[in-house]
Amino acid sequence: MPYFDAASSAPLHPVARQALLAALDEGWADPARLYREGRRARLLLDAAREAAAEAVGCRPDELTFTPSGTRALHDGIAGALAGRRRAGRHLVVSAVEHSAVLHAAAAHQAGGGTVAEVPVDGAGRVAPGAYAAALRDAPGPTALACLQSANHEVGTRQPVAEAAQECRAADVPLLVDAAQSLAWGAVAGDWSLLTASAHKWGGPPGVGLLAVRKGVRFAAHGPADERESGRAPGFENIPAVVAAAASLRAVREEAAAEAERLRELVDRIRTRVPRLIPDVEVVGDPERRLPHLVTFSCLYVDGETLLHELDRAGFSVSSGSSCTSSTLTPSHVLRAMGVLSEGNVRVSLPLGTREEDVERFLALLPDLVSRVRGQLGAPRSEEAAAAGSAGGGEEAELVVDSLGKLCPIPVIELAKVIGEVPVGGLVTVLADDEAARLDIPAWCAMRGHEYVGERPADRGTAYRVRRRS
């Protein structure tokens, strides 16, 4: 069964498995003890730290192993904010950071701090100078800025080196979430703190990395502990740490060749899916992106149903669609980008993905999307095109009540009735599904109609669309 969700968690690398088993026998003792078993465990821990630090691009004594990537982010943000409390209580993050960063920002704000989100463009990338502007416009002195190296949902790489330079000029440390990119190479730029998670590159789950460069003011969160420089309390999981470092070194050795091979496979998906399936939007930067990840959204498609269909066909993929989330709200990444969210599919290929599996995915996908659209009663592409080209020129308005209906039903109902008003006429869609705020404007852009705007309604929101020829 092809597994196409490496961005969530990569399969355990063979080197990680070998290292883990070996370290279970040799690294079980307390590395703080002076007897031979403790010394042996200390040697394994020190060697793993040196290997990981080399891959990160920092000194071994700047790197801490944490119980997870999320813990590394939370501790890194909390420690940097606490260490620079006298400098200020303002935090700057991008609008597309991992939810772990946004949760930490919310906690900081709840504790009396201030937070600013840097917007992104339609490809999910922050603009040059955006961090300099955010720091300049801050309500007070900024304690910390955060920027991911590459986005976990759409694969867009961020201009970390430029942002780090802007932060350095303002004397503000930059924390980089490198969870998605570290397998492909070190993060460039003069960053101050960096985090990563081993299960993203094929290491075991339960190991995170936190690098804090010398000179960065940092105060560990919570009670002090003598282990890991006081930054990660508790007994080190040496077998998992050894496996994480060994697998990181192994994937780095394969990175150049695999990046080239996987980029070609992803390019096939990016190019052929819009040709094979009508009304599909491929999202994310087409060039400045991770080599193994592609995201696309399918109009008139229930994302959860499509993922179930793909699973039954033998493919494991992920989604940022609100139809597949427990909160029934679109992914904050897609929302920040302002792109179509319904029927969203994220394909992230693990190392060693076979060409024939990608070809089979491309062969099966059009029928699966057509089947889901048919189940929902969505208009066929040629019907939608015909509806958008007929009609007169007088003003008219039609109201569609989609209250209580979830994505993609409001958009489907809009598509079915747009032909009932003349060119220049208006359709108002009443909807209380948050996804409609993204998907109706995206539908207008894809079908050539004008999105007039939104206004509050008695229940939900009224979205107004003008029919254009």
Task: Identify the CA nearest to 202 among candidates 134, 272, 253.
Answer: 253
| Cβ neighbours, 10 Å, residue 164 | 23
Question: Helices 355-375 and 303-312, interaxial angle, to 10°?
Answer: 130
Instruction: Decide if 323 is catalytic.
Output: yes
Strands 293-298 and 344-348: antiparallel
Q: How far is 269 from 293, CA to CA, in rounded Å? A: 10
Q: How far is 179 from 210, CA to CA, in rounded Å? A: 11
Residue 440 belongs to what H/E stretch? helix 436-447
| Cβ neighbours, 10 Å, residue 376 | 13
Q: How far is 44 from 39, CA to CA, in rounded Å? A: 9
Question: 386 φ, ψ to 5°?
Answer: -65, -40
Q: How far is 179 from 181, CA to CA, in rounded Å? A: 6
CB 426 within 8 A of CB 397: yes
Q: Residues 167, 298, 323, 407: which is the catalytic one? A: 323
Distances (CA, A) of 202 to 146, 243, 338: 25, 9, 32
Query: Strand, coil or helix: what is 112?
Result: coil
* Number of helices followed by number of strands (H, E) in the chain: 13, 14
Q: How far is 348 from 350, CA to CA, in rounded Å? A: 7
Kindly tell me the burial class for residue 140, based on how many C-beta atoms sit within 10 Å of its own C-beta (0-12, 13-18, 19 or more): exposed
Q: How far is 288 from 156, CA to CA, in rounded Å? A: 6
| Cβ neighbours, 10 Å, residue 397 | 11
Q: Which residues are catalytic?
A: 323
